[in-house]
Chain A
Amino acid sequence: MTLSLAGCASGSTQTTTAAASTTTAAGTTAAATDSATTTEGAAAASDATTAGSDSESADSTDFATGDYSSVTLNYWSMWNSNEPQGEVVAAVAKAFEEKTGATINIEFKGRDLSQVIQTSLEAQDEVDLFESSYQNISKNFKDYVYDLTDMATAADYDSRSYAALNQQVIDWAGFLACITEQPQVGGVFYNKDIFEASGITETPETWTEFLDACQKMVDNGYQPLALDSAYLDLAFGSHLERVIGQDAIINLAENGGWSANAGVISAADQIIDFVKAGYLADGAPDEYPSSQNKIGLTGKVAMVICADYVVSEVNNNTGTEVNWGLFNYPSVEGGVNSMNAYAGANSLAITKYSQNAQAAFDFIMYLTSGTNDQTMADTATQIPADPHNSEPAIKAGSIATLEATTTPLIWGMGIDYNSDKQTGIVDVIAQLYEGKFASGEDFAKALDALY
């Protein structure tokens, strides 16, 4: 349970949890209103495999060639059985069983998996493969998972995945610890119609352009930015990262000394001016998900800083089809401006002690590439794990953003790094957006008071 609640607890798993459920969302709603959709999707998955190869893209069936008739794989899934992801996974597993003779036992554990799995890994329970956030796997479970480097090379995995995500895993774990199943990307998500109506023809690339755009929106009767308490760390983190960079934020979060950093003060001053100018939506920062819902409900709120799952969240919550677009957080004049974006993933890993690592790996590749991956992306409205596939329309631009990212940023860009101070820091950030500080110095002082 921890992780589906605490799970949401900021940081990267938050994203993953949220993302997971988002996509779920799409699916469950679909299942509720039109159960045919998901069933079709799942059916398509098995079609793809039984009908054999579809010559165009890299085909999933490449990976279902072995004879695994004596093999039993125990698969612990972070999805629920009634979610679209869960349905697709079940259908693909069935197809894999038919092709290879293997037996796959899936246990749908839900988001709590991340909490349970630690104990089970320590006790060497019978698990061959499991899902979690890639950060969790690479950092916390790295001692318990299989080094996939050789098998991945043999399968030419690099050509079917996002280099930045893989590199991040290797940086954390020291080896390729997991295979991407559900990538995510962050940035500024906006309503294209409002930009058009306000005469904004190009998405802003610098903070000055961003402020100009906001002013245009206000002039045309729109409210520029939605902000909910749950995403405060990401919102301010995105800005501060452009000014001083993620490593500097991590350092400050760990050791304090915020007041001594001119970048922190100027970043906070910029946010204070931003708030004073009235660029936040009415009521923001609000209690999640009130503020972001206004994008759909009122049609007057234009943007939100979040990860890609926010688009289906808002659409589902409010029963509207917002004309979504995405741009990278603008650069800030005088800052270090890495221009990286937040990215993350839910991934699949194989246990170190699994007796059937190759079979498990083949199944993972079967699931996360080619037609099966496309089915997953379409059914669950998520970014495909295989860049050769195409993204759902409301997430247009996300594959390109992911491929352009060299070093993904972590959730909150380091704001949440210090577990002891994290709640305090976020609290001070909330006050910043509530307009409680007269100057950046006051804000930095309030942060230092926590140490």
Chain B
Amino acid sequence: MSKKNKQFRERINWKKELSLLPGYLILIIWIGFTAVILFWILAASLSTSKEIFSGTVLKFASGLHFENYKDAWQVQNVSRYFANSVLYSVVACVAVLLISAPASYALSRFEFAGNKALRFFMIIAMSLPAVMIVLPIYAFTASMHIKGRIILILLYTFMNVPYTTIYLLNFFGTLSKTYEEAAMIDGCSLGRAFWTIMLPLVQPAIITVTVFNFLGVWNEFFMALIFATTEDTTPVGVGLLQIVNSMKYTGNYGGLFAAVIIVFLPTFILYLFMSERIISGVTGGGIKG
């Protein structure tokens, strides 16, 4: 609110605004384009295939087809893909914190042999192309008869360990040592001090990195393509692709775009409320390919 008031009080400097006009123009064209295509997807999700293929989506000649959403959710399996994705992202986001937060804390607080090497290794790991690691993992899970959702849960967890650890490092580094020293004088063990005192102090960073991890897992595609081998384990990204491929034959393109909207919605809502955090996740953590 206060900001708005400030803007009111600020006199509009027309000369300055005029010099910025080309900038505004470029921004508006780009965003206008984004808006048009998003709106088109929304409109297509409420149209019939025939309307989509004859380019009359925006006319809604045959009314709004909300049944496309029902069809996508039930017949096209989106409900199942959706549930899988929720499971993968929630479990992986929690698990990665359990692994990364303590490690990150230890790395930032204590000098020990291998500390530097470990950090360096994680940065390398973040820049590796995924194809460099999938073949042995695929062979390993096959030979060990590891099946089902557990594979992707583990992969998504491990995959996010380097980024999460590195991201949290900076935040633990900024905390004063007096916190845990005081706690330990009171008889707290280091482990306890970490969980009850240090971790809550970096809560904002944890929320940011978790939102970021969530988006990453939700939209992940390559690993899922290789490791989700039955419809029971398929998450939304690959599920959408399967719908895209089968819609060509099922002919319900309206349902396809309804599925697109359903898949897009959770990340969009998250973005509406947390865009600042997500953006600071990109720029603050620095590295996320």
A and B touch in the complex (CB under 8 A): yes
B48, B50, B143, B249: the one within 8 Å of A25 (CB): B249
Q: A315-B251, A316-B252 are in contact. List 6 more A-B contacts (CB 8 A).
A: A1-B224, A21-B249, A22-B249, A25-B246, A289-B248, A319-B49
CA distance A1 to B224 in the complex (A): 9
What residues of chain A lie closer than 8 Å to B229, measured between beta carbons?
1, 109, 112, 115-116
Residues of B180-236 contacting chain A, CB below 8 A: 224-226, 228-231, 234
B77, B230, B251: the one within 8 Å of A317 (CB): B251
Interface 9-mer from B7-15, B157-165, B237-245: B237-245
B231, B245, B252, B255: the one within 8 Å of A108 (CB): B231
Contact A318 B49, CB 8 Å, known A25-B251, A81-B231: yes
Residues of A381-401 contacting chain B, CB below 8 A: none
Is A25 within 8 A of B230, CB to CB? no
A-B contact pairs, 9 of them (CB 8 A): A28-B252, A109-B230, A110-B242, A112-B230, A125-B145, A289-B248, A313-B249, A316-B250, A319-B49
Q: Is A419 an interface residue (CB 8 A)?
A: no
Contact A319 B48, CB 8 Å, known A1-B225, A22-B249, A24-B246: yes
What 0/1 readout, one digit per residue, does chain A (99-130) give for beta carbons within 8 Å of chain B? Answer: 00000000111101001100100010100000
Q: Is B54 an interface residue (CB 8 A)?
A: yes
B75, B143, B246: the one within 8 Å of A32 (CB): B75
What 0/1 readout, one digit per residue, does chain B (103-129) give for beta carbons within 8 Å of chain A? Answer: 000000000000000000000000000
Q: Is B30 an interface residue (CB 8 A)?
A: no
What residues of chain A lie closer than 8 Å to B142, measured between beta carbons?
119, 123
- Interface size counted on chain A using CB atoms at 8 A: 40
Is A1 within 8 A of B53, CB to CB? no
Q: Is A31 an interface residue (CB 8 A)?
A: yes
CA distance A130 to B225 in the complex (A): 21
Is A28 within 8 A of B49, CB to CB? no
Q: How far is the CB of A386 from chain B (nearest CB, A)?
A: 24
Q: How large is the interface on B (under 10, 10 to 19, 20 to 34, 35 or more residues)?
A: 20 to 34
What residues of chain A lie closer than 8 Å to B228, measured between beta carbons?
1
User: Chain A: residues with CB nearer than 8 A to chain B?
Assistant: 1-2, 4-5, 8, 18, 21-22, 24-25, 28-29, 31-32, 80-82, 107-110, 112, 115-116, 119, 123, 125, 288-290, 293, 297, 309, 312-313, 315-319
Interface centre among A5, A31, A317 (most CB of B within 10 A): A317
Contact A32 B248, CB 8 Å, known A1-B238, A108-B230: no
Interface centre among B50, B229, B230, B251 (most CB of A within 10 A): B251
Closest chain B residue to A320 by CB distance? B50
Is A123 within 8 A of B145, CB to CB? yes
CA distance A388 to B56 in the complex (A): 45
Is B231 within 8 A of A316, CB to CB? no
CA distance A313 to B242 in the complex (A): 16
Contact A8 B245, CB 8 Å, known A82-B77, A319-B48: yes
Interface centre among B67, B142, B230, B253 (most CB of A within 10 A): B230
CA distance A312 to B250 in the complex (A): 9
What residues of chain B lie closer than 8 Å to A290, measured between beta carbons?
53
Is A18 within 8 A of B249, CB to CB? yes
Contact A28 B75, CB 8 Å, known A123-B143, A317-B49: yes
Is B75 within 8 A of A309, CB to CB? no
A109, A288, A297: the one within 8 Å of B54 (CB): A297
Is B245 within 8 A of A4, CB to CB? yes
Is A288 within 8 A of B248, CB to CB? yes
CA distance A315 to B54 in the complex (A): 15
Q: How far is the CB of A51 from chain B (nearest CB, A)?
A: 30
Q: How far is the CB of A371 from chain B (nearest CB, A)?
A: 26
Q: How far is the CB of B250 from chain A (nearest CB, A)?
A: 4
Closest chain A residue to B71 by CB distance? A32
Q: How far is the CB of A30 from chain B (nearest CB, A)?
A: 10
What residues of chain A lie closer than 8 Å to B75, measured between beta carbons?
28, 31-32, 82
Interface centre among B225, B229, B242, B255 (most CB of A within 10 A): B229
What residues of chain A lie closer than 8 Å to B67, measured between beta carbons?
32
What residues of chain A lie closer than 8 Å to B49, measured between beta carbons?
316-319
Q: How far is the CB of A76 from chain B (nearest CB, A)?
A: 9
Q: How far is the CB of A89 from chain B (nearest CB, A)?
A: 15
What residues of chain A lie closer than 8 Å to B242, measured between beta carbons?
1, 4, 110
Closest chain A residue to B52 by CB distance? A317
Closest chain B residue to A23 by CB distance? B249
CA distance A1 to B50 in the complex (A): 29
